[in-house]
Chains A and B, each alone.
Chain A
Amino acid sequence: MNKPENARVRTIDKVKASLEKRYAKERRFRRLGLGAVLLGLSFVLVLFMDITSKGYTAFVQTHIELEVFFDPALIDPDGTRDMDVIARADFRKIARQPLREKFPEVTGRRDKRALDSILSTGAPYQLLEMVRADPDLIGTRQMVELIADDDIDMLVKGYIDRNAAAEDRRVNDSTIAWIERLDSDGLISLNFNTRFFTNGDSREPELAGIGGAAAGSFYTLLVTLALSFPIGVAAALYLEEFAPKNRWTDLIEVNINNLAAVPSIVFGLLGLAMFINLFGLPRSAPLVGGLVLTLMTLPTIIIAGRAALKSVPPSIREAALGVGASKMQTVFQHVVPLAMPGMLTGTIIGMAQALGETAPLLMIGMVAFIVDVPGGPLDPSTVLPVQVYLWADSPERAFVERTSAAIMVLLAFLIAMNTFAVVMRRRFERRW
């Protein structure tokens, strides 16, 4: 009688004694997990804050508001309104005239040149475009907000220390004095930088934009999506639903997993050797970029697609087969609709990867300096991450903020795509 009573007491004591240790272990693990999450989040936060703080100023651009005289003698001496004549006119002279009028005391050749360089080399083109849009401007005087040079832009945004020694800064004392006078006259303004979103690349930071790279990314991804989604889904369907399970299909499966782990630059080399050298497709073209990224994205889509197909419960297949549906009907009417959210999620994740991919595109020439915005998948172009790479390499101070701004745009696209993937999965996920 006594013995089991004792044994019971001892067991419960032992259990109680061990409890403290067990709970402490659990608490430690929880704290570790929470710590890991917080650490990850803080890194992301630091990254975002750094990029945002460096890049947000690129979304505005310094303009100088000046009264421009569209001199008929310079633009259209014969009054023909012929666009060819107008296009050849000396708009540089028209653009620099107002500043010279504003500062008549500047006489020296060198000082005059310094005064001229307050305005961007894009300012004359700005005026040309205005005349093209409205030829009636010829002969009138207009207040125009002309783009400032990138050095002036940096000065206005406060990136150049006015108190530093003159030889240590890109802007000399007289220029600073002119800018201060223009500023006190209220002629300097920071406007939204539309050019940043519409222009292609440029040597002049104030004229450079991500429009070309964004269009290049769009065409590249379009080609990638058009190829990798149908091919990937078809491959996943065949391997999962139709192929016999034997050594060959095992080999194929292993190699698909291997492909997913191949460094992306290798795909770039393959693309260079195959698509450009062998098939003679144009260099720097989104078409080739899309083909290369398709090769890179396919394993992701196939693996995600097969996982999605595997997760469809066999009872659905049996139900369809049981009422006499053929294999094809079973797969396409029951299995595919249920697996679609998973396959789409895999595709979007693959596309997001492709959007951020740089290395393979360097190999096929999409790293070239291209000013024009591409009009189609065969035009030479670059893509967003490569544009970031190019600008990060440029020495001008103004490219620093543009690099960060381009990264922000790229991240915005990525976040949008991933959010879309999550929302789609939630929306179309069906319960059974």
Chain B
Amino acid sequence: MTNPQTVIAETELADQVVRPHGGAQALEGGFQTVGDVRVADPRMSCTGVDVYYADKQAIKDVSLDVGKNQVVAMIGPSGCGKSTFLRCLNRMNDTIDACRVTGEIKLDDQDIYDRRLDVVPLRAQVGMVFQKPNPFPKSIYDNVAYGPRIHGLVASRTELDEVVEISLTKAGLWDEVKDRLEQPGTGLSGGQQQRLCIARTIAVEPEVILMDEPCSALDPIATAKVEELIDELRENYTIAIVTHSMQQAARVSQRTAYFHLGKLVEVGETTQIFTNPRHKLTEDYITGRFG
């Protein structure tokens, strides 16, 4: 409210709110997210999350559950705060000095913003895959082995070999790289690098995987491979994915959350959001009227 720009933007939002099946849905004041933010079996549960960058509020009162063995997709126009929200889930925002997070985010009933909580084990539980593939400038093997090594997950070299093979297999990369594990990970193609990063993340056996636009730097074929992989990973992991591609959200996710200007506008079953959105903003966005 302090920022005049924000005020104007919110007034704009307030003007375009009414949907026949949604009723009055002002984003002003006592705005409520449309749809059910809770699920029966949550792995992560966020309540009233606010994020500030210095004085600017980037996320406003967002509550959202991430269900077990589900893929939750977060969509929305650029700058809507979906990436910021995702980065709250494993406290990656801690690295930004001016960033402040309030509200409650729970991982299996443990508040991850508890002062006594150590972020190192948290990040082992909640892994992250980034927008741009960012393998370490080390060998393929060392990239995958890094996590298990620093966390002391393996006792012997053979065990480590096994973890590396399993992780690369799960990431669908094993057959392509098994003969050149000692070559640098940075020498792979973009799609392979991203799958290597996914292998690196799952090598630590996390419970939740956060993906921040994992396919935005990839071509359609590599994207298809990664999407297929996400679908397979769902069996064992809980996944939250931020994406700019609505088709991707529709293909890989079970639930979809639509963000707009720092607020969670609507959340629901993916099929419902894409076939029968209840909020006008959601409909405008998914039908391509803006964004």
- Identify the A interface with B (CB < 8 A): 244-245, 313, 315-326, 329, 333-334, 338, 430-432
Contact of B123 among A316, A323, A333, A431 (CB under 8 A): A323
Q: Measured between alpha carbons, how far is A347 from B33 in the docked complex, in Å?
A: 57
Residues of chain A within 8 A of B129, CB atoms compared: 322
For the complex formed, measure the closest distance between the CB of B139 and the CB atoms of chain A, giving whole angstroms: 12
Q: Are B123 and A322 in contact (CB under 8 A)?
A: yes
Question: What are 7 of the A-B contact pairs (CB < 8 Å)?
Answer: A317-B95, A318-B128, A322-B130, A323-B201, A324-B123, A324-B127, A324-B147
Closest to B131 in A: A315
Most chain-B CB neighbours within 10 Å: which of A245, A322, A329? Answer: A322
Known interface pairs A322-B127, A323-B200, A323-B203; 11 further A-B residue pairs with C-beta atoms within 8 A, sorted by A's residue number? A315-B130, A318-B95, A319-B136, A321-B123, A322-B123, A322-B129, A323-B204, A324-B121, A325-B150, A326-B120, A338-B137
Residues of chain B within 8 A of A245, CB atoms compared: 97
For the complex formed, measure the closest distance between the CB of A240 and the CB atoms of chain B, giving whole angstroms: 13
5 A-B pairs with the lowest CB-CB distances in the bound complex, closest first: A324-B124, A315-B134, A322-B128, A324-B123, A323-B147
| Segment 7-27 of B: residues with Cβ below 8 Å from A | none
Contact of B97 among A244, A320, A321, A326 (CB under 8 A): A244
B197 at the interface (CB under 8 A from A): yes
Contact of B136 among A244, A320, A431 (CB under 8 A): A320
Chain B interface residue count, Cβ-Cβ cutoff 8 angstroms: 28
B274 at the interface (CB under 8 A from A): no
B90 at the interface (CB under 8 A from A): yes
Closest to A323 in B: B147
Closest to B121 in A: A324
B186 at the interface (CB under 8 A from A): yes
For the complex formed, measure the closest distance between the CB of B125 and the CB atoms of chain A, giving whole angstroms: 8
B135 at the interface (CB under 8 A from A): yes
B224 at the interface (CB under 8 A from A): no
Residues of chain A within 8 A of B136, CB atoms compared: 316, 319-320, 334
Q: Are B120 and A324 in contact (CB under 8 A)?
A: yes
Q: Measured between alpha carbons, how far is A430 from B128 in the docked complex, in Å?
A: 24
For the complex formed, measure the closest distance between the CB of A233 and the CB atoms of chain B, giving whole angstroms: 20
B151 at the interface (CB under 8 A from A): yes
Q: With A315-B130, A432-B137 given, is the CB distance from A323 to B146 under 8 Å? A: yes
Most chain-A CB neighbours within 10 Å: which of B121, B132, B150, B201? Answer: B150
B92 at the interface (CB under 8 A from A): yes
Residues of chain B within 8 A of A324, CB atoms compared: 120-124, 127, 147, 150-151, 204
Q: Are B134 and A318 in contact (CB under 8 A)?
A: yes
Q: Are B132 and A315 in contact (CB under 8 A)?
A: yes
Residues of chain B within 8 A of A323, CB atoms compared: 123-124, 127, 146-147, 150, 200-201, 203-204
Residues of chain A within 8 A of B137, CB atoms compared: 316, 338, 430-432
Residues of chain B within 8 A of A326, CB atoms compared: 120
Q: Measured between alpha carbons, how far is A209 from B124 in the docked complex, in Å?
A: 64
Closest to A329 in B: B150
For the complex formed, measure the closest distance between the CB of B277 and the CB atoms of chain A, giving whole angstroms: 33
For the complex formed, measure the closest distance between the CB of A320 and the CB atoms of chain B, giving whole angstroms: 7
Residues of chain B within 8 A of A313, CB atoms compared: 134
For the complex formed, measure the closest distance between the CB of A292 and the CB atoms of chain B, giving whole angstroms: 37
Most chain-B CB neighbours within 10 Å: which of A245, A316, A324, A329? Answer: A324
For the complex formed, measure the closest distance between the CB of A312 and the CB atoms of chain B, giving whole angstroms: 10
B122-166: CB near A (< 8 Å → 1, else 0) gives 111001111010111100000000110011000000000000000
Residues of chain A within 8 A of B146, CB atoms compared: 320, 323, 325
Q: Measured between alpha carbons, how far is A320 from B151 in the docked complex, in Å?
A: 12
Closest to B123 in A: A324
Residues of chain A within 8 A of B132, CB atoms compared: 315
Q: Are B124 and A321 in contact (CB under 8 A)?
A: no
Q: Are A322 and B92 in contact (CB under 8 A)?
A: yes
Q: Are B197 and A319 in contact (CB under 8 A)?
A: yes
Q: Measured between alpha carbons, how far is A203 from B127 in the docked complex, in Å?
A: 73
Residues of chain A within 8 A of B197, CB atoms compared: 319
For the complex formed, measure the closest distance between the CB of B213 and the CB atoms of chain A, giving whole angstroms: 13
Closest to B151 in A: A324
Q: Are A316 and B134 in contact (CB under 8 A)?
A: yes
| Segment 170-216 of B: residues with Cβ below 8 Å from A | 186, 197, 200-201, 203-204
Q: Measured between alpha carbons, how far is A83 from B186 in the docked complex, in Å?
A: 70
Q: Are A431 and B147 in contact (CB under 8 A)?
A: no
Q: With A319-B135, A322-B123 given, is the CB distance from A431 to B186 under 8 Å? A: yes
Residues of chain B within 8 A of A318, CB atoms compared: 92, 95, 128, 130, 134
Residues of chain B within 8 A of A244, CB atoms compared: 97
For the complex formed, measure the closest distance between the CB of A347 and the CB atoms of chain B, giving whole angstroms: 22
Closest to B204 in A: A323
For the complex formed, measure the closest distance between the CB of B156 and the CB atoms of chain A, giving whole angstroms: 20
Q: Measured between alpha carbons, how far is A334 from B142 in the docked complex, in Å?
A: 12
For the complex formed, measure the closest distance between the CB of B194 and the CB atoms of chain A, giving whole angstroms: 12
Q: Measured between alpha carbons, how far is A321 from B150 in the docked complex, in Å?
A: 11
Q: Measured between alpha carbons, how far is A329 from B135 in the docked complex, in Å?
A: 16
Residues of chain A within 8 A of B203, CB atoms compared: 323
| Segment 53-91 of B: residues with Cβ below 8 Å from A | 90
Residues of chain B within 8 A of A431, CB atoms compared: 137, 186
Q: Measured between alpha carbons, how far is A317 from B203 in the docked complex, in Å?
A: 18
Closest to A337 in B: B137
For the complex formed, measure the closest distance between the CB of B28 and the CB atoms of chain A, giving whole angstroms: 35
Closest to A244 in B: B97
For the complex formed, measure the closest distance between the CB of B26 and the CB atoms of chain A, giving whole angstroms: 37
Residues of chain B within 8 A of A322, CB atoms compared: 90, 92, 123, 127-130, 201
Q: Measured between alpha carbons, how far is A325 from B147 in the docked complex, in Å?
A: 8
Residues of chain B within 8 A of A338, CB atoms compared: 137
Residues of chain B within 8 A of A319, CB atoms compared: 130, 134-136, 197, 200
Residues of chain B within 8 A of A432, CB atoms compared: 134, 137, 186
Residues of chain B within 8 A of A430, CB atoms compared: 137
Residues of chain B within 8 A of A334, CB atoms compared: 136
Q: Measured between alpha carbons, how far is A319 from B150 in the docked complex, in Å?
A: 14
Most chain-A CB neighbours within 10 Å: which of B123, B136, B147? Answer: B136
Closest to A313 in B: B134
Closest to B197 in A: A319
Q: Measured between alpha carbons, how far is A245 from B54 in the docked complex, in Å?
A: 13
For the complex formed, measure the closest distance between the CB of A241 and the CB atoms of chain B, giving whole angstroms: 11
Q: Are A321 and B92 in contact (CB under 8 A)?
A: yes
Closest to A246 in B: B97
Residues of chain A within 8 A of B204, CB atoms compared: 323-324
B81-116: CB near A (< 8 Å → 1, else 0) gives 000000000101001010000000000000000000
Residues of chain A within 8 A of B121, CB atoms compared: 324
